Amino acid sequence: MRDEYRRESVDSRYRGLFAEEIAIGIMATVLGDVFGAKPIVNTVEVLTALNRGAVSTNVPIADFLAKARHQTTGQEWSIIAESKGSLGKIVSNERIKRAKQQVASTKARFAGTDTKLPLAFCSSVFFAKQGKGASCTVIDPPNDASEDDTLVKPADAWRAAYTKAFRFVGLDAASNQVAAGNAVTSLQRIYDESTLFRDDRGQSGRRRRRALVARERFNVDLLLDVGPCAIAIDPRVLAMLREAGVREEMTGEYEHLADFRRKDRWHGHSFLNYLGLGCVFYEDLDEVRG
């Protein structure tokens, strides 16, 4: 892989993109598993939506804004997170300095939080023959809440997160309904309740049985077939989205479900994120029935 990356035919921008995407994944994992953060949203996107205009590019700004609870006091605080990634080498001091500037100058926090925790995640991924494991250094430059901060309501953040997630998997109609603050009526299961338990044969029957196993094993409904897996959703999240979408009075329920799902045990390659969305691989379903 290292030799392939060194070929002149590989666009240098792709090398950087690979490292940055890996870094974002590591950062999201740490925010979710260590800090219990939810929601986690793109800072520029949510601020642009709130201000109805482009965010100034003259001021450094961190990639992500997240809300979490202090593990000791239980107090809610806003996490300002920036990720820098490097492939085959340690993140440079210049980029570390830039990450510190970005988190320190980001004027945003969640409404109802008085404390901000700026974190710079610097992740390095090495090639197999280098004999080094992946590493992630977390730096927390000091920063206090400011009266100049843009206050982000939890509902706006949850709405932005679901909007982006649905658009990413190709569910544009659902994405548009969430963004507009409407009930997400376009979300449909691959098989509804009336057909889920039929004992049909052939391809249709196999898909129906997979949907049934997904419900039994992972407590999820399948929304979209994407080759080796299906886009899945927590049925409780699906019910809330279809009934009312994302509203301010419902954010507590979304947070409660995210905490509850942390206790679920998943097997194989399948996964569900804090939004209650994820991928269920068919190999994890077929192995149950043999």
pLDDT tens, per residue, the chain with 290 residues: 455 545 555 555 555 567 788 888 888 888 988 888 999 999 988 888 887 655 666 778 898 999 998 878 888 989 999 999 888 888 899 999 999 889 988 889 999 888 888 999 998 888 777 888 878 888 876 666 567 788 899 999 999 999 999 999 999 999 999 999 999 999 999 876 555 455 555 556 777 888 888 988 889 999 999 889 999 999 999 999 999 999 989 898 998 888 877 767 677 888 888 899 999 999 988 865 54
Residue 88 sits in the same domain as residue 207: no
Q: Which of 121, 152, 183 is a domain's end point?
A: 152
- β-sheet bridge partners, residue 56: none
Residue 30 sits in the same domain as residue 134: yes
Q: What's the pLDDT at 290?
A: 47
Q: What is the DSSP letter of 269?
A: T
Q: For residue 281, which of 270, 265, 289 has the smallest C-alpha distance?
A: 270
Residue 17 sits in the same domain as residue 28: yes
Phi, psi (degrees; rounded to nearest 5) at 162: -70, -35
| HSE-up (13 A, CA, CB side) for residue 288 | 17
Q: Which of 97, 127, 152 is a domain's end point?
A: 152
- β-sheet bridge partners, residue 123: 85, 136
Burial of 73 (0-12, 13-18, 19+ CB in 10 A): exposed
- β-sheet bridge partners, residue 233: 221, 277
Residue 113 sits in the same domain as residue 127: yes
Q: Which of 152, 176, 199 is a domain's end point?
A: 152
Residue 117 sits in the same domain as residue 185: no
Residue 146 sits in the same domain as residue 159: no
Range of the domain at 40: 2-152
Residue 68 sits in the same domain as residue 191: no
Residue 35 sits in the same domain as residue 125: yes
CA distance 7 to 208: 46
Q: What's the pLDDT at 143?
A: 61
Q: What's the pLDDT at 171?
A: 94
CA distance 16 to 239: 40
Residue 283 sits in the same domain as residue 167: yes
What domain count does the chain have?
2
Identity of the residue numbered 159: R
Residue 9 sits in the same domain as residue 140: yes
Q: How many helices (H) and strands (E) does the chain have?
A: 11, 11
Residue 118 sits in the same domain as residue 227: no
